[in-house]
Chain A
Amino acid sequence: MEISRNMKKKKRKPKKMIRSKGDTTFTIVNYLFFGLVTLICAYPFYYLIINSISNNELSSLGEIRFLPKQLHLENYKQVLQLDGLPLAAIVSVGRTVIGTACTVLASAFLGFIFTQEKMWRRQFWYRAIIITMYFNAGLIPMFITMKTLHLTNNFWVYILPAIVQPFNIILVKTYIESIPKSLQEAAEMDGANIVQVFFKVVLPNCTPILATVAIFSAVAQWNSFQDTLIYITDQKLYSLQYLLYTYINQANSLAQMVRNAGGSVANVASAATTQTPTSIQMTVSVIVVLPIMFIYPMFQKHFGKGIMLGAVKG
């Protein structure tokens, strides 16, 4: 071993010398390329954040580009008093938390049950659920269905349809199949029933994959825009994303609204902290994006693993 390793080193060294020029150029270009791509991806977020905390007058002139100027938090204070925003935040947080908890538990339980060979007609039911991934009744039939089920203008339209997710079930099932069966058998020997096995044996051993499922569904819930658009007309049930969308479309009337709401405060406030349409949009955008930015790096390490499992099957 030692000898061969030495030989490798000896052999490689001269070649490296010859190619070093092309190599270095490549390395530099490569680093520059990724620096640029990263900048393009990250700068817009930075731009929104610095503009939401800077002098609003400068901001509306487009002067805030690299560093925030004349910091203030007035935008956030004002925006949080906007009609509908706190409620929309509650709706968004609510659907994210409840929806994620439901689908994680359901995926874990279904994934587990579908690994049990003794289950009655296992293959049939498994296929019946998985196949729903590949067809779709279409927009209008879905709308009529929701109407029939009294789910339009109902908070539960955010939760119920998202509970059984075939892809998540595949992920969990594949993962459970890789856990040694002896664990479950041992628990069963001790007299544990199926529910106990699920909670005591399966759940604790599946945390990586369940974390993956959780982050995916949380992000999907938080970002979902289409379901509010289609099924909800009641303003009380608007999600943050939808509210932001309406804000972008009616920015001018919005700024007026804030000024009116501010009343006496607005008279005192200087132009530097008075809300402009852009300042409101940017501030709400930051409020919408911050949770994602905070949660996401924590779960990042799971992505690769989860996706690989999906690729094996999918």
Chain B
Amino acid sequence: MELKKNPLKKKVKKKVSRDGKIMFLCIVPFLILAFLFSYFPLHGWIYSLYDYKPALGLSGSEFVGLRWFKLLVSSKTQIDQIIQVMKNTFAMSFLGIATSILPVGFAILLNEVKCKGFKNIVQTLTTLPNFISWVLVYMIAFSLFSTTGLVNTLLQEGGLITDAIKFLDSDSHTWLMMCLWNLWKGLGWGAIMYLAAISGIDPELYESAKIDGANRFHLMRHITLPALMPTYLVMLMLSIANLLNNGMDQYYIFQNAFNKTHIQVLDLYVYNIGLGGNSLSLATALSMLKSVISVTLLAVVNFASKKIRGSSII
């Protein structure tokens, strides 16, 4: 029996391994794409060791070793600039983290709206801003808050102010403004996930709590809120891991000569000195440091998550 079975098994195995190889061949084009646009660019990090001039190419550029990294910590003006940029980056990130609890509250309160139609309208219209680009957000900001915009006109007509307030072309409260625009764009969308989580809560829980005499506020506080905490914790950890990644669209579009000091976050700074100011190598050195720190942060947060929650976030 055994003798007879063995060759058959081998045949099956061979067929399986042949199928597996074919499947592999099928996805090779995609693997190449992933390689080209994710792994291959890493070779660019060596540009941080050169004084790279695009006109000369890498072979014609001077090898300068760690000059750019030393520059980051030796020149006084450079240090001051970096400190300001880091302050902005952390300010935006921490404001983002501080306001990340708001979508939870939004979802809990919206869940208390019993009128289905109203709830749908609210949900649709509050998630809409998430789906427009920052260019459009800026256009809206421009048409409402410029010196001749609607808000200034209304305030002047109401006699509250005489001179138009410069909301956009000034450096007052830049961090707060950016945070508020972020909130306008993301609040409704951020709540969707929590609303989905709420719909997954066992109704029995509410029923039995009601029998025990809990009112509406007790239910929100002691059932809905705790049920959302695991999701919130994951989101919180992800945003900590993304501390340095503010993205640049928003800040690039809102930046102008007036607010530059306080709006320049790390991503935007890399763009401004790299493609705007043509210090390609310095910008590469910076973004390389940023990538390394980000990955480390993610690893640390993931480790913490394993310790605290017992499961990883990535």
Contacts and interface: CB of A to CB of B under 8 A. Distances in A.
Interface of A: 8, 11-12, 15, 19, 23, 26-27, 30-31, 33-34, 37-38, 40-42, 44-45, 47-48, 51, 62, 65, 106, 109-110, 113, 116, 118-122, 125, 128-129, 132, 134-145, 149, 160-161, 163-164, 194-195, 219, 222-226, 229-230, 241-242, 244-245, 248, 278, 281-282, 285, 288-289, 292-293, 296-297, 300, 303-305, 307-308, 311, 314
A121 B129 CA distance: 43
Contacts of A27: 112
A141 B126 contact: no
A301 B132 CA distance: 18
Q: Which of A33, A144, A296 has the most CB of B within 10 A?
A: A144
B178 to A, nearest CB: 17
Contact of B295 (A23, A135, A229): A135
Contacts of B123: 300
Given A141-B287, A241-B135, 16 more contacts: A30-B109, A34-B109, A47-B140, A119-B20, A129-B30, A137-B45, A139-B283, A140-B287, A144-B47, A163-B33, A195-B26, A225-B134, A245-B138, A281-B139, A308-B196, A314-B238
Contact of A194 (B23, B125, B231, B248): B23
Given A34-B109, A120-B23, A138-B44, A132 B139 contact: no
Contact of A41 (B118, B129, B149, B249): B129
Contact of B45 (A141, A245, A248): A141
Interface stretch (B75-83, B84-92, B93-101, B205-213): B205-213
Contact of B132 (A19, A30, A34, A292): A292
Nearest to B279: A140
A281 B123 CA distance: 28
Contacts of B142: 248, 281
A160 B33 contact: yes
B215 interface: yes
Contacts, number: 259
17 contacts: A12-B210, A15-B215, A38-B126, A44-B143, A62-B153, A110-B27, A120-B20, A120-B21, A122-B20, A137-B38, A223-B132, A223-B133, A241-B133, A278-B143, A288-B135, A292-B128, A311-B193
Given A41-B129, A138-B270, A225-B133, A194 B19 contact: yes
Query: Which 6 A-B pairs give the minimum distances between C-beta atoms?
Result: A141-B44, A138-B287, A137-B41, A223-B133, A132-B38, A62-B153
Interface in B119-166: 121-129, 131-136, 138-140, 142-144, 148-150, 153
A145 B44 contact: yes
Contacts of B249: 225-226
B17 interface: yes
Contacts of A121: 24
A192 to B, nearest CB: 12
Interface string B183-216: 0100110001101110110000001001101011
B290 interface: yes
Interface in B252-306: 252-253, 267, 270-271, 274-275, 280, 283-284, 286-288, 290-291, 294-295, 298
A145 B31 contact: no
Given A125-B31, A128-B34, A41 B274 contact: no
Contact of A48 (B33, B140, B283): B140
A138 B290 contact: yes
B240 interface: no
A41 B193 contact: no
Given A135-B291, A225-B135, A38 B41 contact: no
A288 B136 contact: yes
A176 B305 CA distance: 27
A106 B51 CA distance: 39
B44 A26 contact: no
Given A120-B23, A161-B37, A244-B136, A140 B283 contact: yes
Q: Which of A31, A65, A122 has the most CB of B within 10 A?
A: A31
A307 B31 CA distance: 26
B176 interface: no
Contacts of B271: 139, 230
B314 A134 contact: yes
A300 B143 contact: no
A230 B30 contact: no
Contacts of B294: 135-136
B56 to A, nearest CB: 13
Given A42-B125, A120-B21, A135-B291, A303 B280 contact: no
The size class of the interface chain B forms with chain A is: 35 or more
A51 B195 CA distance: 35
A304 B249 CA distance: 26
A125 B126 contact: no
A75 to B, nearest CB: 14
B1 to A, nearest CB: 26
A15 B37 CA distance: 63
Nearest to A7: B211
B30 A118 contact: no
A137 B132 contact: no
Contact of A300 (B122, B127, B138, B274): B127
A222 B248 CA distance: 17
B312 to A, nearest CB: 10
B39 A132 contact: yes
B211 A8 contact: yes
Contacts of A116: 20, 23
Given A194-B19, A223-B132, A120 B42 contact: no
Nearest to B44: A141
A197 to B, nearest CB: 11
